[in-house]
Amino acid sequence: ETGVTQTPRHLVMGMTNKKSLKCEQHLGHNAMYWYKQSAKKPLELMFVYNFKEQTENNSVPSRFSPECPNSSHLFLHLHTLQPEDSALYLCASSQDLTEGNTIYFGEGSWLTVV
Amino acid sequence: QKEVEQNSGPLSVPEGAIASLNCTYSDRGSQSFFWYRQYSGKSPELIMFIYSNGDKEDGRFTAQLNKASQYVSLLIRDSQPSDSATYLCAVIETGANNLFFGTGTRLTVIP
């Protein structure tokens, strides 16, 4: 069991649905991340939050909307997704990476858009 | 976005052999390098990190870093079937508060 918990682990949604992915970290870290992992592609950074402030938005379509109410919780709100958005969505957390730390992943949320 | 490149494989080695996984990166100023292992259907888990030129050993794993050649590798000695997974190279680039990942190398250890 990791210190980063994601729910749900599996989600199937239609293109007109609205759903949310949830992430909680129990490691006392100050940064949280959303990554997308598709087959045969590198892990793609989507969003970064430091002390609950968004510091990076990697040109992600507006149908993905992040929310970070505090340093321990992170959400990814999903609406009007496309089938190509089907992927593994990974939440991660870390301390400050400039001090030689690294990121720790949750188990991921498998998303299928039908 | 800067690049981190790995051979996608698959790389197959017999049980007990040494598996060698390679990674190159484009940002010459990068300072921190990581290897993650990802089993099928699971999330990546950190197995090694290296910051200085040379070798770093941890059990059966050895990470090697050559900053002049912008090259980092992972050696797995006495490979076991349980080592079969995808290995991801990751780099923290200069001034960035983010890890950049390669596409990963799929390793299969044949019993």
* B16-73 residue pLDDT tens: 999 999 999 998 888 899 999 999 989 999 999 999 999 999 999 999 999 999 999 9
What contacts A39, CB < 8 A, 6 or more positions away? none
Integer Cα distance of B36 and B92 in angstroms: 13
Q: Is B40 on the interface with A (CB under 8 A)?
A: no
Contact call for residues B15 and B59 (beta carbons, < 8 A): no
Report residue A2's pLDDT band, with 50, 70 and 90 as the boundaries. Answer: low
Q: Do A42 and B42 touch (CB under 8 A)?
A: no
Query: If you average pLDDT over residues B5-12, what whole number do you get?
Result: 88
Q: What is the pLDDT of residues A40-83, one digit of tens each?
A: 788 888 999 988 778 777 789 999 999 999 999 999 999 999 99
Strands A31-37 and A4-7: unpaired
Q: H helices of B1-111, where?
A: none
Indicate whether A31 pLDDT > 80. Answer: yes
Integer Cα distance of A92 and A73 in angstroms: 11
Q: Do B46 and A104 touch (CB under 8 A)?
A: yes
Q: Do B99 and A31 touch (CB under 8 A)?
A: no
Residues of B in contact with A88 (CB under 8 A): 43
- How far off is chain B from A71, nearest CA to CA, in Å? 16
Report residue B7's pLDDT band, with 50, 70 and 90 as the boundaries. Answer: confident
Mutate to test the interface with B, among A103, A104, A107, A112 (most CBs of B within 10 A): A103
pLDDT of amino acid B28: 86
The values of phi and psi at residue B7, to 5°, are: -70, 130
Helix (H/G/I), strand (E/B), else coil: A95: coil
Residue whose tokens read 């390679």: B22
Residues of A in contact with B100 (CB under 8 A): 42, 45
CA-CA distances (angstroms) from residue B65 to A82, B31, B50, B89?
Answer: 41, 10, 7, 12
Contact call for residues A70 and A50 (beta carbons, < 8 A): no
Query: If you average pLDDT over residues A29-41, what whole number do you get?
Result: 90
Query: If you average pLDDT over residues A6-30, what whole number do you get?
Result: 95
Q: Is B94 on the interface with A (CB under 8 A)?
A: no
Report residue B8's pLDDT band, with 50, 70 and 90 as the boundaries. Answer: confident
Query: If you average pLDDT over residues B3-17, what whole number do you get?
Result: 91
Query: If you average pLDDT over residues A24-32, what whole number do you get?
Result: 94
Of how many residues is chain A composed? 114
- How far off is chain A from B8, nearest CA to CA, in Å? 9
